[in-house]
């Protein structure tokens, strides 16, 4: 459950408005004034208004000007009906949610070629607002200070902590996997900020997905379930199925830009295996077609409990696909000779794969575990067998 900071949480501008209401007798009693400043995201004790009226607290804050009071009343209520958030009072949390919604909508937009870069930049803004909202609620001053003096820009604006600093703060509430995920995205952001890159969407997809889920979890954990984004961002629809041909096309995707690949490899090399496997760092989903009798409420996806028999069976199916049998050239030659083609040799095998450019063909094989070696998969074994059958007179 989200925690709520105890005590008076009125902001200075709110105190100024309250003093202006008291002076103008608009509204006329403390209970009615209190109603303007209590909302689902923040409750105020009724004594707070009396303490301001009697000058027991906030003595140094001056009343707002009459025009400011009129503007406040004319814009009231500024509450989002779905979440109960105030556009002004909960500005940081509102901006955090909207920035993440913008990041996801941008990534899912049709016709964009550099979606990952746009997502990363926008989602870092979302997380920064989230952390500032959390620090503010906890009463932690998130402004840069030097010898107790708040630092400002050359134009006089106060300097607030950037996301990297927030993540390193001793009281940061985020789990380690979430922090690692954001640290990697920050590293990628530094690389793409002032440089042009090739498409990196597919290579980063598991990290971006984890980032979205982490943000939604953090919203619910730290501020409340009513602020979750799943009602605003339902599951996406697509026009393709993940069949063998599509998987093959995905595998043909061009390599990452050298600077991005180096950044990712350097970052991940410092992580422990269990950190890399943490779904908060990189979230991966296995898609398996669901075959069976449909129902009137047949969802496009099914959630399977981790550790259940169904989950084990799915893992077995996935491992069958991932852990493909591998054969060396010598293995294939021996198998063909045992099948009745004794004259088929290593030389014949080499000539065949070169003539078909088989090492460039997706699904036929892959570099072996040792430098300069190559291993073949079952589709290539089937192709060699067909070749031997075609040339039976030569190899028998």
How many C-beta atoms surround the C-beta of residue 347 within 10 A?
Answer: 9
**3-class state of residue 59 by DSSP:** coil
- Measured between alpha carbons, how far is residue 268 from residues 105, 169, 282 in Å? 28, 22, 11
pLDDT by residue, tens only, the chain of 396 residues: 444 444 347 888 889 998 999 988 888 888 888 888 877 667 788 788 888 888 888 889 999 999 988 888 877 777 776 677 877 778 899 999 999 999 988 888 777 777 888 889 999 999 999 999 999 988 899 999 999 899 998 888 999 999 999 999 999 999 999 999 999 999 888 877 656 555 666 667 788 888 988 999 999 899 888 888 876 665 554 444 444 454 454 444 445 566 666 777 777 777 787 787 777 877 665 555 555 555 554 555 566 666 677 766 666 555 454 456 789 999 999 999 999 999 999 999 999 999 999 988 767 888 887 778 899 988 899 899 999 999 999 999
Asked if 124 and 143 touch (Cβ cutoff 8 Å), the reply is: no
Spatial separation of the C-alpha atoms in residues 309 and 264, rounded to whole Å? 35
Type and span of the H or E element at 7: none
Closest CA to 14 of 56, 54, 55, 48: 48
Distance CA 352, CA 347 (A): 9
Q: Distance (Å, rounded) from C-alpha 208 to C-alpha 188? A: 12
Would you tell me how many other CB atoms lie within 10 Å of the CB of residue 110? 4
pLDDT at 329: 93
Contact 349, 388 (CB under 8 A): no
Q: Is 229 exposed, middle or buried (0-12, 13-18, 19+ CB in 10 A)?
A: middle
User: Domain limits of the chain?
Assistant: 12-75, 79-230+255-286, 329-395
């Amino acid at each position: 459950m989200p925690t709520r900071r105890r005590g008076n949480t009125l902001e200075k501008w709110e105190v100024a408005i309250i003093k202006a209401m008291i002076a103008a007798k608009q509204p006329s009693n403390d209970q009615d004034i209190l109603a303007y400043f209590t909302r689902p995201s923040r409750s105020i004790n009724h004594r707070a208004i009396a303490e301001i009226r009697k000058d027991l607290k906030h003595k140094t804050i001056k009343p707002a000007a009459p025009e400011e009071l009129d503007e406040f009343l004319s814009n009231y209520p500024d509450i989002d009906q779905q979440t109960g958030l105030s556009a002004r009072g909960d500005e940081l949390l509102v901006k955090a949610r909207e920035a993440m919604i913008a990041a996801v909508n941008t990534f899912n937009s049709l016709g964009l070629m550099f979606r990952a870069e746009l997502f990363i930049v926008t989602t870092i803004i979302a997380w920064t607002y989230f952390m500032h909202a959390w620090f503010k609620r906890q009463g932690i001053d998130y402004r840069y200070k030097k010898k107790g003096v708040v630092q400002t820009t050359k134009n006089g604006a106060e300097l607030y902590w950037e996301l990297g600093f927030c993540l390193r703060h001793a009281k940061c509430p985020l789990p380690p996997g979430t922090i690692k995920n954001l640290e990697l995205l920050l590293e990628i952001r530094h690389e793409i900020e002032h440089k042009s890159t090739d498409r990196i969407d597919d290579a980063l997809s598991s990290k971006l997905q984890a980032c979205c889920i982490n943000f939604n979890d953090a919203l619910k954990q730290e501020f409340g379930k009513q602020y979750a984004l799943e009602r605003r961002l339902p599951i996406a629809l697509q026009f393709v199925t993940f069949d063998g041909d599509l998987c093959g096309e995905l595998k043909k995707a061009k390599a990452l830009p050298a600077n991005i690949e180096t950044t990712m490899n350097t970052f991940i090399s410092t992580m422990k295996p269990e950190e890399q496997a943490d779904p908060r760092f990189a979230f991966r989903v296995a898609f398996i077609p669901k075959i069976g009798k449909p129902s009137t409420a047949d969802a496009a996806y099914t959630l399977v409990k981790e550790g259940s028999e169904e989950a084990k069976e799915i893992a077995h199916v996935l491992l069958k696909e991932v852990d493909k049998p591998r054969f060396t050239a010598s293995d294939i030659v021996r198998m063909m000779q045992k099948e009745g083609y004794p004259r088929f040799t290593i030389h014949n095998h080499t000539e065949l794969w070169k003539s078909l450019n088989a090492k460039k063909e997706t699904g036929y094989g892959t570099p072996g575990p040792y430098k300069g070696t190559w291993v073949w998969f079952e589709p290539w074994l089937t192709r060699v067998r067909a070749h031997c059958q075609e040339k039976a007179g030569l190899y028998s």
